[in-house]
Amino acid sequence: MQQKDIESAHRKFLKQEARSRSWVLSTQLLLFVAFIGLWELLARTNTINSLIFSYPSKVVTEFWSRLMDGSLLPHVGMTVWETIVGFLLGTLLGTVIAAVIWWSPFLSRVLEPYLVIANSMPKVALGPVFIVSFGPGLFSVIAMGCAISVIITTINIYTSFKEVNPNYVKVVQTLGGSKRQIFSMVILPSTIPTILATLKVNVGLSWVGVIVGEFLVSQQGLGYLIIYGFQVFNFTLVMMSLAIIAVVATLMYQGVAYLERRLTSQFK
C-alpha cells in the first residue's frame, strides 16, 4: 500500500472517530434535555407529586438563592474535601496493603480469606464504630469514605500483582534482581493500568461513604443538607443536593478518566 493510501485511510478513520464521538455526545445531551423537560412537564401537570419530586426550575431557583446568600459553598466545599481525602487515603492504603500481602507469601495465605470476608461486610454498618472511635465529626466521615473503598482496592490491586506475567519476573531474577527490584521494575509498572482503573471505581465509592457518614454525624456538607431537607420536608433542597453530588462526582470521575488515558499508554 502506498504512503498516500495509508494517509488517506488514516484521515478517514479519524473523521469516523470524530463523527462517532459527536453522535455519542449529541445523544447524551439529547437524553439529558429530554429527561429534564419530561420531569418539569410531569411535575407542572401534577402527573408526579411536585412536593416530593420538585421540578428542575424550582431546583435551579433553590440553588441560585443559596449560592447568592453564601450558605451553599461551605457545604459543597466540606463534602468535596472529605471525599478527596477519603478517596486518596482509601486508594493509598489499599495499594500499600496489597503490596505488603504480595511481598509475604505467608501473609498472603493468612489474610486472603479475611479480605474476602471484609469485602462482603456492609461498610455502612461501621459508621457507629467510627463515631465512637473518632468522635462525631470530620474524622468519622473521612474514615467512612476511606473504609468503603480500601478493601476492594486491596483485592483488585493484589489480584493484579499476582497476574503479572511470571516470565517478566523470571528475567529479573535471572539477572540477579532483588525482590524490591522485581516489585519496582516489573510488578508495579505492570499494574499501573489496574491502579488507575481502580481510582475510577473509588471515586463513586468514596462519595457513597462520605455522604453516609454525613447522614450519621455531620452538621455540614451535602449529606447533611439531604437529611435536613427530609426533616423539614424541603424536597427541593434534597433534589438540589443530589444534583450537585451528581455533577461534582462526574467531574471527579472525568478527571480520573483523563489521568488514566494520559498515563495508561505509557505502561502498556
What is the pLDDT averaged over residues 74-84?
Answer: 93
Q: Which residues contact 161 (CB under 8 A, 6 or more apart)?
A: 98, 99, 102, 187, 191
- Give the pLDDT band of residue 162 (cuts 50, 70, 90): confident
Pick the CATH number of 61-264 from 1.10.3720.10, 1.20.1250.20, 2.40.110.20, 3.20.20.140: 1.10.3720.10
Average pLDDT, the chain: 86
Q: Per-residue pLDDT for 244 more than 70?
A: yes
- Give the pLDDT band of residue 73 (cuts 50, 70, 90): very high
Calpha distance 113→83 (Å, rounded): 29
Question: Helices 192-216 and 127-134 sit at what angle, rounded to 10 degrees?
Answer: 80
Q: Which residues of 134-162 are buried (b: 16+ CB within 10 A; e: fewer)?
A: beeebbbbbbbbbbbbbbbbbbbbbebbe
Maximum Cα interatomic distance, the chain, rounded to a whole number of Å: 76
> Within 10 Å of residue 18's Cβ, how many Cβ atoms?
10
Please give the grid coordinates belonging to residue 173: 531474577
- Give the pLDDT band of residue 5 (cuts 50, 70, 90): low
Would you call 118 exposed, middle or buried from its count of C-beta atoms within 10 A (0-12, 13-18, 19+)? middle
Position 51 scores a pLDDT of: 83
More confident residue, 86 or 11: 86
Position 243 scores a pLDDT of: 94
What is the pLDDT averaged over residues 130-157?
Answer: 86
Tell me the whole-structure pTM to 2 decimals. 0.84
Domain boundaries, the chain: 3-48, 61-264
Q: Per-residue pLDDT for 135 more than 80?
A: no
- Give the pLDDT band of residue 76 (cuts 50, 70, 90): very high
Please give the grid coordinates belonging to residue 147: 473504609
